Homo-oligomer: A and B are copies of this chain.
Amino acid sequence: MGLAENQLSFDVIEEWIKKNPKASICTPEGVAEFKNVANFQDYHGFPDFRKAIANFMSKARGGRVKFDPDRVVMAGGATGANETVMFCLADPGDAFLVPSPYYPAFYRDLGWRTGVKIVPVDCDSSNNFQVTRAALEAAYEKARNNNINIKGLIITNPSNPLGTTVDRDTLTSLVKFINDKNIHLVCDEIYAGTVFSCPKFTCVTEVLQDVKNCNRDLIHIVYSLSKDMGVPGLRIGIVYSYNDAVVNCARKMSSFGLVSSQTQHMLSAMLLDDEFVSNFLETSSKRLARRHRFFTTGLEEVGINCLKGNAGLYCWMDLRKLLKDQTFEAEMVLWRMIINEVKLNVSPGSSFRCVEPGWFRVC
């Protein structure tokens, strides 16, 4: 509880490993490769690894989009991937718009060492926390009035903590916005493979064609296997950019966050196995849906509603009616009660910079 871990489908991975001992450099069948693999240190990564990641990224998005292996750049987890993109795009003091509520470690990932600032874009329950053009314009103008240089917009789609996807119209509107302002769009899609019910996930790549004169140089995707495959320990972070300069710059920086060649080697074989990938994604999606249904139905039975979610590893729980008053102080009082008496490790909305008191993330 409290950790965004996806532990539901390890049996599928374990089964594959047992059937494919040659994929590993740690088995009698595969150890002959140890020397070549462990010694290998090309910053581009193994060609097969880049192909395997592009293949998995496509399949995790329903096969509706294709990715070019030559645009796949390695980073140390999504943490490192987000930081790398910031180093590529911004100077210290520059800022990125980030719709709230958002992942609290963005302060670390995006800003600690780069000096980049976060400017929140306030979203609320009136439209299920979807970001609007009006909210973007307001945040953008306010920042400019405060002499803050906005370099781009970062969205997490599917959203952590909401557990929802950005709908296609909204996504199109976001791409239009950043094109109009000539600023960058970084799409953190690390939960793309956790979509378990309708509406289906829309990847930013799908809407690029819908926007007239879209400047693809402004579009960047951050990916990872930490959530979709539940393997954060393996530190697979990916920068995928439509901008050649960003690909080149990020690749130079990848010396700071290369993926272990041992891990690249094993995942190359695993993720180029289409049968495995299809089976894994289908199984994972079904199991996530079952857990989600089980959990939200249980909450409903005791009168607690959640934002209608279709993705991710958590629920965005509405406890507004349990607050003594509609303040963040009351949210903290309720949070301590849940932690200490109910013994559930949930996270208060204020920790995600939610503007409405009374929401909690539970996972």
Contact = CB atoms under 8 A, between A and B. Distances in A.
A183 interface: no
A37 B232 CA distance: 9
Contact of A80 (B112, B234, B252, B257): B257
B256 A39 contact: no
Interface residues of A, number: 55
Given A17-B34, A27-B26, A255-B108, A39 B266 contact: no
Interface in A179-238: 226, 230-235
Nearest to A234: B260
A94 interface: no
B40 A76 contact: no
A14 interface: yes
Interface stretch (A5-13, A51-59, A61-69, A346-354): A5-13
A355 interface: no
A233 B260 contact: yes
A83 B34 contact: no
Contacts of A34: 10, 13-14, 17
Interface in A4-34: 5, 7, 10, 13-14, 17-18, 21, 23-28, 30-32, 34
Consensus secondary structure, chain A interface:
helix
Contacts of A14: 31-32, 34-35
A34 B266 CA distance: 13
**Candidate in A23, A26, A108, A257 with the most chain B CB atoms within 10 angstroms:** A26
A262 interface: yes
A17 B32 CA distance: 11
Contact of A232 (B23, B41, B77): B41
Nearest to A263: B260
A144 interface: no
A255 B79 contact: yes
Contacts of A260: 233-235, 259-260, 262-263
A333 interface: no
A87 interface: yes
A261 interface: yes
A118 interface: no
A258 B77 CA distance: 8
A38 interface: yes
Interface in A106-135: 108-109, 112-114
B31 A234 contact: no
A252 B112 CA distance: 10
Contacts of A304: none
A253 interface: yes
Interface string A137-162: 00000000000000000000000000
Interface of A: 5, 7, 10, 13-14, 17-18, 21, 23-28, 30-32, 34-35, 37-41, 76-77, 79-80, 83, 87, 92, 108-109, 112-114, 226, 230-235, 252-253, 255-263, 266
9 smallest CB-CB distances across A and B, nearest first, come from: A233-B261, A24-B26, A260-B260, A10-B35, A38-B231, A41-B232, A40-B233, A80-B256, A260-B263
11 contacts: A5-B39, A14-B32, A14-B35, A24-B26, A26-B266, A41-B233, A76-B256, A83-B256, A113-B113, A257-B257, A260-B263
